[in-house]
Amino acid sequence: MKRFWFFDLDGTLADTEGDIRRAWKAALADLGLDCPHFDDVYTTGPSLEEITKRLFPDTWTPEMLQAIRGSFARHYDTDGFPLTREYPGVLDRVRALKAAGAHVAIVTNKRLAGARAMAAKFGWGEVFEKIYTADMHRDDPDIGVLRKPDLLRRVLAELDAAPADSVMVGDTVNDFEAAAKNGLESVAVAWGYGKPDERREATRTAQVPAEI
């Protein structure tokens, strides 16, 4: 068994899309940003910065990004995640891995504040050793907001985890590419937001949590 197991959050541990979409639309409304193609372009998984650039490829600015980030956070982090649901059986599998001696952590593009608030609601802090997020070093000018391959690379270094002894579990190609770029195996979960063709990029697929 591998010693280090890294789990994506959105679409892997929980179905979070309803609350995220709601916060996005509220933020755009707050800022008066017209985006009629939102539902066609938005996908759950990429970072807030990546989604902003997809929604406004020709007009986005750092100031717009900052404004969206602030408004989104106000709507998302404090509403209690009423539409978010854990995927049944996933946390049981995480507990089993931990009981067998594995190190388990969350590695996500989610913002740190939102990830921590969600972990507190669902009691994940009792299971996962740490939460690593794309923006956890955003105040460090030498690091900033990380893309998932770079985030995973920093996690491996911090934990002194060998890639050959580590696994990334996720639902989209972002997770599998991050794993491949760092020399890790990856497990695609069949219940998340990724499309079937994305799962071909993973080392293997888990159709049910027990197969992770």
Q: What is the reported pLDDT for 46?
A: 85
Could you tell me where in the chain the CATH 3.40.50.1000 domains are found?
Answer: 4-15+84-211
Q: Which of 63, 69, 35 is nearest to 49 (CA)?
A: 69
Element (H, E) at 204: strand 204-206
Q: CATH: 3.40.50.1000, 3.40.50.2300, 3.30.70.890, 3.10.129.10. Which one for 4-15+84-211?
A: 3.40.50.1000
Q: Which of 174, 182, 176, 164 is nearest to 201 (CA)?
A: 176
Per-residue pLDDT of the chain (212 residues; tens, 9 = 90+): 999 999 999 999 999 999 999 999 999 999 999 999 999 999 998 889 999 999 999 999 999 999 999 999 999 998 899 999 999 999 999 999 999 999 999 999 999 999 999 999 999 999 999 999 999 988 888 888 899 999 999 999 999 999 999 999 999 999 999 999 999 999 999 999 999 999 999 999 999 999 99
Residue-wise DSSP of 160-184? T--GGGEEEEESSHHHHHHHHHTT-
* 8 A C-beta contact, residue 145 and residue 109: no
CA-based angle 117:206:40, to the nearest 5? 60
Q: Which of 209, 152, 157 is nearest to 177 (CA)?
A: 152
Q: Which of 34, 48, 184 is nearest to 108 (CA)?
A: 48
Q: CATH: 1.10.150, 1.10.1660, 2.30.30, 2.60.40. Which one for 17-76?
A: 1.10.150
Q: What is the reported pLDDT for 78?
A: 86
Could you tell me where in the chain the CATH 1.10.150 domains are found?
Answer: 17-76
Report field, pTM of the whole predicted structure over 0.85: yes
